[in-house]
């Protein structure tokens, strides 16, 4: 931006702030990195659960991606059938069906935020920031629902009371101990959310002086501008 650039207001010219190109490139680069991290997370597991029992010395494990389940799904479903729990693939079918599209939309919103010089940038980026929390909340909902809607006619239904499978850490279901934990996909999503927050900080630092200068030049118009960064 040229140092001679000025805006006019009653009483004399008000110079616009001058910043190096890096000031505006940095938030763009950081926000785009957030987009990349979210997209890459699609291809990695978000959460895993392992069942341990004497008859399964190697354990039975399942890994949850945003759009599919992998691992010993059939074996675990067969065991869960005896206590009246529904098959795991029945959980979050709607979420899994549009998860890739949803994450792609988050990425597009972040890319749009790059070109916004007002508080709307933060609003566009907000879904990507809260996405990891929404994922965990939805996962907990389905764990709770499956553990509290057991089939009363199942063979071992009388031996298991309604329960919530462990979301993180260790738990126990009948003779099985369970270990659940977050996987690289989820950690990338969290890192992406943190990156977006950092990008928004630099975005505000870059563009807020421009807004303030315009507001100073045209106070009546600026007073009604609800898009302040």
Sign of CA dihedral 103, 106, 112, 113: negative
Question: Which phi and psi angles does 162 have, rounded to 5°?
Answer: -50, 140
- Residue 72: CB atoms within 10 Å: 20
Q: 193: pLDDT confidence band, cut at 50, 70 and 90?
A: very high
CA–CA separation, 143 and 122 (whole Å): 32
- The candidate with the shortest Cα–Cα distance to 129, out of 65, 64, 227, 195, is 195
- How many CA atoms lie within 13 Å of 4's alpha carbon, on the beta-carbon side? 0
Report CA 203 to chain centroid distance, whole Å: 20
Task: Find the mean pLDDT for residues 154-174.
Answer: 91
Q: What pLDDT is attached to residue 163?
A: 93
Contact between 59 and 181 under an 8 Å Cβ cutoff? The reply is no
- How many CA atoms lie within 13 Å of 108's alpha carbon, on the beta-carbon side? 6
Question: What percentage of the chain has pLDDT greater than the value 70?
Answer: 83
Burial of 118 (0-12, 13-18, 19+ CB in 10 A): middle
If one compares 149 and 15, the residue with the highest pLDDT of the two is 149
Q: 173: pLDDT confidence band, cut at 50, 70 and 90?
A: confident
Between the CA atoms of 144, 149, 155 and 158, what dihedral angle is there, to the nearest 10 degrees?
A: 80
Q: 228: pLDDT confidence band, cut at 50, 70 and 90?
A: very low
Q: Are strands 12-15 and 6-9 parallel, antiparallel or unpaired?
A: antiparallel
Q: What pLDDT is attached to residue 24?
A: 81
Domain coordinates in residue numbering, the chain: 21-210
Q: What pLDDT is attached to residue 14?
A: 53
User: Is residue 225 predicted with pLDDT exceeding 70?
Assistant: no
User: Is residue 223 predicted with pLDDT exceeding 50?
Assistant: no
Q: What pLDDT is attached to residue 207?
A: 80
Contact between 185 and 67 under an 8 Å Cβ cutoff? The reply is no
Question: Which phi and psi angles does 55 have, rounded to 5°?
Answer: -80, -10
Q: What pLDDT is attached to residue 157?
A: 81
Tens-place pLDDT, residues 82-134: 999 999 999 999 999 999 999 999 999 999 998 888 788 999 999 999 999 99
């Amino acid at each position: 931006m040229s140092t001679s650039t000025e805006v006019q207001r009653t009483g004399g010219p008000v110079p616009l702030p001058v910043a190096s190109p890096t000031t505006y490139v940095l938030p763009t680069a950081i926000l785009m990195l957030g987009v990349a991290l979210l997209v890459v997370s699609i291809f990695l597991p978000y959460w895993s659960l392992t069942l341990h029992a004497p008859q399964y010395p190697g354990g039975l494990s399942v890994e949850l991606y945003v759009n599919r389940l992998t691992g010993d799904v059939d074996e675990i479903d067969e065991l869960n059938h005896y206590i009246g729990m529904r098959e795991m693939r029945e959980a979050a079918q709607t979420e899994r069906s549009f998860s890739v599209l949803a994450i792609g939309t988050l990425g597009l919103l972040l890319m749009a935020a790059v070109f916004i010089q007002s508080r709307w940038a933060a609003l566009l980026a907000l879904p990507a920031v809260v996405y990891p929390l929404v994922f965990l909340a939805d996962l907990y909902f389905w764990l709770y629902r499956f553990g509290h809607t057991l089939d009363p006619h199942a063979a071992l239904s009388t031996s298991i009371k309604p329960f919530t499978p462990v979301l993180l850490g260790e738990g126990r279901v009948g003779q099985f101990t369970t270990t659940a934990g977050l996987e690289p996909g989820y950690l990338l999503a969290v890192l992406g959310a943190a990156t977006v927050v950092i990008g928004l900080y630099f975005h505000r630092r870059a563009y807020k002086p421009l807004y303030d200068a315009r507001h100073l030049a045209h106070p009546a118009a600026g007073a009604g501008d609800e898009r302040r960064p």
